[in-house]
């Protein structure tokens, strides 16, 4: 009986892991597709003549996790780096939200100087995570 239940749990864990792997694969494919397409008009309008790598930071007025956790991480990380931070109010930029498939706030998109995304973080992005992504091109 116990062995049977352990096996059931293992099967459930395997199914969960498989779903996660498929989701990661889908995310990776989507990132490749986005990197191969031109930046959306809304982004070019937002950034204007800004050049160089950038981070898009999707947030919202009522997001306390953004205010108290994500913003300090980004501010301290980018203090000494020549990388522009563009804070985007997600509810007022539905086109960008759709384009990058933003699911929640905070979310961050790391862009190359050509405005190609190299990483999309759904939820809180830690400092080491962002540092690794910024070093990936």
Partner 1 sequence: MAARVDYSALRTNQALIVLFLILSFLLDQRWLVGFVAAVMLVGTIWPQYSLFKLLYSSVLRPAGLIKADVHHEEPQPHLFAQALGAIFLLGAVAAFLLSAPLVAWSLSFAVAGLAFVNLFFDFCLGCFIFFQLGRVGLRPELPQWRGNG
Of 105, 129, 104, 99, residue with least CA distance to 117: 99
Q: Is position 116 an interface residue for partner 1 (rule: CB under 8 A)? A: no
Categorise residue 123: left if φ over 0, alpha if ψ from -120 to 50, beta otherwise.
left
Q: Is position 65 an interface residue for partner 1 (rule: CB under 8 A)? A: yes
Figure out which of the listed residues 12, 21, 25, 41 binds partner 1, where binding follows CB under 8 A.
12
Figure out which of the listed residues 103, 114, 132, 137 binds partner 1, where binding follows CB under 8 A.
103
Torsion of CA 40, 43, 49, 53, to 10 degrees: -100
The site for partner 1 (CB under 8 A) is made up of: 1-2, 5-6, 8-9, 12, 16, 60, 62-65, 67-69, 91, 103-105, 122-124
């Amino acid at each position: 009986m116990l062995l049977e239940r352990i096996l059931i749990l293992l099967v459930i864990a395997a199914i969960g892991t498989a779903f996660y792997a498929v989701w990661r694969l889908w995310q990776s494919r989507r990132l490749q597709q986005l990197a191969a397409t031109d930046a959306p008009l809304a982004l070019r309008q937002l950034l204007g003549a800004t050049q160089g790598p950038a981070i898009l930071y999707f947030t919202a007025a009522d997001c306390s996790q953004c205010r108290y956790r994500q913003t300090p991480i980004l501010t301290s990380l980018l203090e000494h780096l020549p990388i522009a931070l563009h804070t985007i109010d997600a509810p007022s930029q539905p086109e960008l939200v759709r384009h990058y498939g933003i699911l929640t706030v905070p979310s961050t998109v790391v862009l190359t100087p050509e405005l190609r995304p190299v990483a999309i973080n759904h939820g809180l992005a830690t400092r080491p995570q962002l540092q690794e992504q910024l070093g990936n091109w």
